[in-house]
Amino acid sequence: MSDFSTSHIALSGLESFQLGSSLLPRVWSGLWQLSSNAWGTAPLPRIREAMARHVGIGYTAFDMADHYGSAEIIFGQFRRSLPPDQHVFGATKWCVFTNIELSQELVEAAVKERMERMQTECIDLLQFHWQDYSDKGYLRALEILEGLQADGLISALGLCNFDSIRTDEICTQLGPGVISSNQVQFSLIDTRPLHGMADVCEKHGIRLLCYGVLCGGFLSDIWLNKPMPDRYSNKLTPSQRKYLDIIVGAWGDWQLFQDLLIVLKNIGDSYGLSVSNIATRWVLDHSFVGAVIIGTRLGISEHIDDNRRVNDFRLNDNDKAALEVVLNRSSGRHIITTIGDCGAEYR
């Protein structure tokens, strides 16, 4: 078992957790919105200014991937522009979506491409995704990645969207301490990690890095007392279309979602906080969660000051009980049987 306690970074006042050899904030900035113009775009100087604002208040961890457009390149350029004593943490991914002929050379080339794009001699966190579970090549790929980690090319090694069975299999085969994390979807709406993954994390001492925490922004004050949007509206982002399908499909309906927002609003008002703060805090209050990854449209839409406020409080038993009343009326606990375990929606 692993110690899942958290601490505070003295200078910034932000909650922190240990991932490998790094002490990191528990709120990360997700750069997936750089993968497509569908989220909106900003000029590069404005994107870099936004990244600097995040770092300035202590949000020093950024999450990206090989398929997030130019995110790795932008991050690498930004980090190189900082003073030598300013450490910024870069987590990226190598995602295998198609059948490949696995070899040492192929894996090494993928890692070195990440390094080149991020302008680094060592990747802080490389997260691995493998599409086809019927091909056990993912075990061999991770053994090669572990070797590259031993060679100093990777600091921490993680998974992305692996389910409970395969995460347990991988951690058992590779042994203690090799896998640091698994990045999966987790929110008040999607509670699948509570049904198996949490136990795997406890067994092997790994942390979850959670995205979808705010369901593309639906878990916020702006949707309270609003009619359900047209899922085909060009006013919705790709993320919002995805999460709307879950909210009014697998989880419940729009009226039940409004009931959830009302409870979140009432709890938030008692602390002087936002709906998003409460939804984020609910995820962070689970001991197996290392960090939440909040997507940001750099230079377009940021909520860094609001997100910072999640560090200042904890939900009490009454808050959690009030949320459970609504969650018990939903089909949230059955999503794992309709959609599948963590990451199943991508396979």
User: Hey, what domains does the chain have and what are their CATH numbers?
Assistant: 7-216+276-315 (3.20.20.100)
3-state secondary structure of 30: strand
226: its two tokens: 């609003």
Q: Helix 104-118 to helix 71-80 angle, to the nearest 10 degrees?
A: 50
Q: What's the angle, vertex CA 145, arms to CA 192 and CA 51, rounded to 5?
A: 65
- Compute CA 116 distance to the chain's CA centroid, rounded to the nearest angstrom: 23
Integer angstrom CA distances of residue 197 from 96, 182, 288: 22, 10, 9
Which residue's entry shows tokens 């300013």? 86
Q: Of 187, 223, 234, give the one whose Cα is nearest residue 208.
A: 187
Listed in sequence order, the residues at least 6 apart from 187 whose beta carbon sits closer than 8 Å to its beta carbon are 210, 212, 213, 214, 215, 219, 279, 283
Q: What is the pLDDT of residue 312?
A: 75
Read off the DSSP letter of residue 228.
P
Q: Residue 109 burial (CB < 10 Å; 0-12/13-18/19+)?
A: exposed
Q: What is the pLDDT of residue 39?
A: 42
Q: Which long-range contacts (CB under 8 A, 24 or more apart) does 100-107 make?
A: 100/137, 102/137, 102/140, 102/141, 102/144, 104/144, 107/141, 107/144, 107/145, 107/148
Residue 181 near residue 20, CB atoms below 8 Å: no
Which residue's entry shows tokens 């984020």? 280
Which uninterrupted H or E stretch holds 183? strand 179-185
132: its two tokens: 């086809």
Q: Residue 69 burial (CB < 10 Å; 0-12/13-18/19+)?
A: middle
Q: What is the pLDDT of residue 41?
A: 65
Q: What is the pLDDT of residue 199?
A: 98
Q: Backbone phi, then psi, for 195, in 5-degree steps?
A: -110, 65
Per-residue pLDDT of the chain (347 residues; tens, 9 = 90+): 455 656 554 446 789 999 999 999 999 999 876 754 544 566 788 888 888 988 988 999 999 999 988 999 999 999 999 998 899 999 999 999 999 999 999 999 999 999 999 999 999 999 999 999 999 999 999 999 999 999 999 999 999 999 999 999 999 999 999 999 999 999 999 999 999 999 999 999 999 999 999 999 999 999 999 999 998 888 888 889 999 999 999 999 999 999 999 999 999 999 999 999 999 999 999 999 999 999 876 655 556 667 778 987 899 999 999 999 999 999 999 999 999 999 999 88
Q: Tell how many helices (H) and how many strands (E) occur in the chain.
A: 12, 11
Q: What is the pLDDT of residue 10?
A: 42
Q: What is the pLDDT of residue 213?
A: 97
Listed in sequence order, the residues at least 6 apart from 220 whose beta carbon sits closer than 8 Å to its beta carbon are 214, 274, 275, 276
Length of the chain: 347
pTM here is: 0.93
Q: Backbone phi, then psi, for 107, in 5-degree steps?
A: -65, -45
- Compute CA 97 distance to the chain's CA centroid, rounded to the nearest angstrom: 19
**Separation of alpha carbons 15 and 271, rounded Å:** 18
